[in-house]
Structure 1
Amino acid sequence: MSTLEKEPRRGHLQAFATEEFRTRLRRVQKEMRHNGLEMLLIHAPENIYYLTGYQTSGYFAYQTLLITEAEEPTLLVRYLERGNIDEYSWLGSYETWREGDDEVVRTVDVVRSRGGATALIGLEKSAWFLTAKVAERLGSLLPQARFADASQLVDRVRLIKSEQELNCIRKAGRIAEAEMRAAIEIIRPGVTEAEVAAAVLHKGVLEGCEYTGLPHHIMSGYRYDVCHANWTPKVITSGELVLLELYGCIERYHATQMRTISMGRPSEEVRDAAALVVKAQDEAIKALRPGASSKIVDALVRGPIRTIRPDYYNRSGYSTGIGFPPRTAEWQTLDFNEHDDWEVQEGMAFHMLALARGFGISETVAITKSGAERVTPENKRELIVI
């Protein structure tokens, strides 16, 4: 069923001014023209949010956004979710599907009504929410249309943030730091990882944190080697290292901070590793400025760390921004590694990280004209000893 007019607004929470969304849309339309696309079907919830402001935790249900050269895109969502358009989005009209409808047939109806029966249509083939089944059915139900892979088209437009977006990341950074301080205050031998998580979550919500794209990672002792380990009832004991990776989230924009705590006097090996890692990342962050080579920035971290950890294959940083579970960032679009080389640009934002021998540290930074601005600037960059 089509809903052509919106119901009266009841508490509008649009995150950005309408003109900000229109500017984003024009940038995407420019990329469409550059790629010869007449129509774009978007299925990634981050990209739908970026262009419309629409969000829901019910994105498990089918939704898509149709972009053409027209001024306003067309959003197709589950009928029960339409209130979220009124609450969050600038759009003046939308389309819906109801239980019992064939969502793909409804999508084809919308495509045809917007003149797309014979168009060259871009699909986000790498999007988790565009299944192979949906893509195949779109092809069979639109036999005269042509389809092209438009994966990362919107994602790459998102790499350069507006000042309003960067301000959201700055606010998220302050939340992540407050959460980190709450964790440090409660951590003692005999406290469980779950108790630390409770303190972090409590502080985050009070500071304005939204639900995060990933759970906070709290890894004590041997669990350092359990990548992205969530908190457990495990008791934290003397002599252990505790690695914390905590997230702040404002208007779906994320900032992350990682710190390591030594429960008691650390070994000389750990102290030396911490000093090496911090110094290496300090040099990398110092080198982060418009025009910098990502490969050179990465080498400033990777080279020193490999002297004590030869198998260091991890990325040393990645683009951050909008996230819906199960992700907090844009690492799939742009990251710092030893293989790819690209140019750092003003308006980008990154989560920069480094780990070795049980110690880990990270910061979220925004790229300004003068270099890298730490949006998580208050907490000391050192091994914390309790």
Structure 2
Amino acid sequence: MFEARRNKLVQELRERNMDAAVIVPGPNLYYFTGLHLKQSERLTLAILTKEGELSFVVPQVELTKVESATNGRIFWYTDEQGAGKALAEARAALGSLGKVGVEFGQMRVMELKAAEALGAASTEDVSAAIDSLRMFKDQQEVEQLKKAVQIIEESLEATLPFIKPGVSELEVAAHLEYEMRKRGSEGTPFGTIVASGYRGALPHGRASSKVIENGELVVLDFGAICGGYVGDITRTIAVGDVSDELKEIYEVVREAQQAAVDVIKPGITAHEVDETARKIIRERGFGDYFTHRTGHGIGLSGHEAPYMMQNNKLVLKPGMAFTVEPGIYLPNKGGVRIEDNLVVTEDGFINLMTYRKDLITL
């Protein structure tokens, strides 16, 4: 599987007249090699040439892991030596490189300088080519997404009884993360969002020390990782009886979210998905309070292509996986967001989530 993915990248390199791609630790490295390596102060690089040859520059501490996962050439160094010697050996082995593809969104300055030290005459962003490959999930990837979704749905159900007046957002977040770990999550792809009351108007309201009070909405946005793949859910719940205004925005978001889900099929654009949700919210008078795109891709990263957003003319095709998560955020009052994870199929879509979307009142 990983070799097949690398072969596709090799074809992209040739079409773009690039001699090699330099990949840093992160989701792209895993996608092409199966290696989970950390991007740290120790230089770590994978180099894939247009001939399909794979090489690594790695610290000694990662040597065994890389050796067990690949037949590629490995140039390693000790902490005492530093990376200079390994880079020189790699440069000698690779020969002269012209244009080299790098990851503008992932690569740090020290890694860019290392790519130049390998002999690259010039560098160019190869991210779009990689995104175009990762955007389409095969059945094995979809199965991992399903497992991640199962973890988060079961963890949410197990956490609901814990949410009550007097409990802090941080305590709820810790409970969610504990329940996910118990069910096999490999971690969290982003800081868990628990945003109650007025803090619900913050789309990225990471859990704080604020105590949940009666009569508040609570936005819960959290994710699990299974086999490297991310599931990402948002549900908004009520603690006690909430105001009619908050109930209204909940129903508007629920209607908008479901409408956007229902239009998904091959051939429509990402813009059309976004506009379907946005039009409903706008016509109900809350357009100014929907302040983000309707969705983002999911996979090895919590946020990746494709993006369901205004003016994105990308045509949806089978295998694309993404979220649909419109929201309304009223300053100093509260907010609502509802999020599902979906995969485009030949004749429509599958919704990986089954969790209820009516307003849960605790």
Shift of 1:128: 3.2
1:167 counterpart letter in structure 2: E
Shift of 1:102: 4.2
**Where does residue 244 of structure 2 map in the other structure?**
268
Supply the distance in 2 between the matched residues of 1:140 and 1:92 (Cα, whole angstroms). Answer: 20
Shift of 1:361: 0.5
Supply the distance in 1 between the matched residues of 2:311 and 2:71 (Cα, whole angstroms). Answer: 41
**Where does residue 321 of structure 2 map in the other structure?**
349
2:90 counterpart letter in structure 1: V
Shift of 1:375: 1.3
**Where does residue 130 of structure 1 map in the other structure?**
108
Which of residues 65, 78, 85 is equivalent to 2:66?
A: 85
1:251 counterpart letter in structure 2: G
Q: How does 1:173-322 map to 2 (within 5 A)?
A: 173-306=149-282, 307-322=285-300
Shift of 1:274: 1.4
Are the structure 2 counterparts of residues 380 and 160 from structure 1 closer, same or farther at C-alpha, using a change threshold of 3 Å?
same
Q: Normalized against structure 1, the TM-score is what?
A: 0.85
Question: Which 10-residue stretch deviates more, 347-356 or 301-310?
Answer: 301-310
- The question of 1:40 aligning with 2:16 is answered no
Assess if the C-alpha contact under 8 Å between 2:25 and 2:37 holds in 1: no
Shift of 1:255: 1.0
- The question of 1:99 aligning with 2:79 is answered yes
5+ residue gaps, structure 2 = 330-334
**Where does residue 332 of structure 2 map in the other structure?**
none
Shift of 1:127: 2.9
Cα RMSD between the aligned structures?
2.2
Question: Which 10-residue stretch deviates more, 208-217 or 228-237?
Answer: 228-237
Are the structure 2 counterparts of residues 168 and 221 from structure 1 closer, same or farther at C-alpha, using a change threshold of 3 Å?
same
Give the secondary-structure state (helix, strand or coil) at the position aligned to 1:119. Answer: strand
**Where does residue 337 of structure 1 map in the other structure?**
309
Shift of 1:39: 1.1
Shift of 1:137: 6.0
Instruction: Give the length in aligned residue pairs.
Output: 355
Shift of 1:31: 0.9
Which of residues 125, 131, 137 is equivalent to 1:149?
A: 125
Supply the distance in 2 between the matched residues of 1:199 and 1:284 (Cα, whole angstroms). Answer: 31
Which of residues 137, 155, 159 is equivalent to 1:161?
A: 137
Supply the distance in 2 between the matched residues of 1:313 and 1:341 (Cα, whole angstroms). Answer: 20
2:351 counterpart letter in structure 1: R
Shift of 1:194: 2.5
Give the secondary-structure state (helix, strand or coil) at the position aligned to 2:339. Answer: strand
Q: Deviations over 1:14-63 (max 9, x none)?
A: xxxxxx11111111111111111121111251111110111134645321
Question: Which 10-residue stretch deviates more, 259-268 or 106-115?
Answer: 106-115
Assess if the C-alpha contact under 8 Å between 2:75 and 2:87 holds in 1: no
Which of residues 86, 97, 100 is equivalent to 1:121?
A: 100
2:322 counterpart letter in structure 1: F
Supply the distance in 2 between the matched residues of 1:274 and 1:304 (Cα, whole angstroms). Answer: 13
Give the secondary-structure state (helix, strand or coil) at the position aligned to 1:152. Answer: helix
Supply the distance in 2 between the matched residues of 1:157 and 1:355 (Cα, whole angstroms). Answer: 30
Give the secondary-structure state (helix, strand or coil) at the position aligned to 1:279. Answer: helix
Which of residues 342, 345, 354 is equivalent to 1:365?
A: 342
Q: Deviations over 1:152-189 (max 9, x none)?
A: 32222111111111111111111111121122121111
Assess if the C-alpha contact under 8 Å between 1:363 and 1:374 holds in 2: yes
Shift of 1:365: 1.0
1:175 counterpart letter in structure 2: I
- The question of 1:64 aligning with 2:45 is answered yes
Assess if the C-alpha contact under 8 Å between 2:294 and 2:309 holds in 1: yes
Assess if the C-alpha contact under 8 Å between 2:215 and 2:243 holds in 1: no
Assess if the C-alpha contact under 8 Å between 1:221 and 1:236 holds in 2: yes
- The question of 1:26 aligning with 2:7 is answered yes
Q: Normalized against structure 2, the TM-score is what?
A: 0.90
Supply the distance in 1 between the matched residues of 2:98 and 2:257 (Cα, whole angstroms). Answer: 48
Question: Which 10-residue stretch deviates more, 169-178 or 260-269?
Answer: 260-269
5+ residue gaps, structure 1 = 1-19
Shift of 1:71: 4.3
Assess if the C-alpha contact under 8 Å between 1:280 and 1:301 holds in 2: yes
Q: Deviations over 1:244-300 (max 9, x none)?
A: 001121122101110111111222222221122111111111111122211111100
Assess if the C-alpha contact under 8 Å between 2:328 and 2:337 holds in 1: yes
Supply the distance in 2 between the matched residues of 1:60 and 1:240 (Cα, whole angstroms). Answer: 44
Assess if the C-alpha contact under 8 Å between 2:318 and 2:345 holds in 1: yes
Identity %: 25
Are the structure 2 counterparts of residues 92 and 134 from structure 1 closer, same or farther at C-alpha, using a change threshold of 3 Å?
closer
Are the structure 2 counterparts of residues 235 and 313 from structure 1 closer, same or farther at C-alpha, using a change threshold of 3 Å?
closer
Shift of 1:146: 3.5
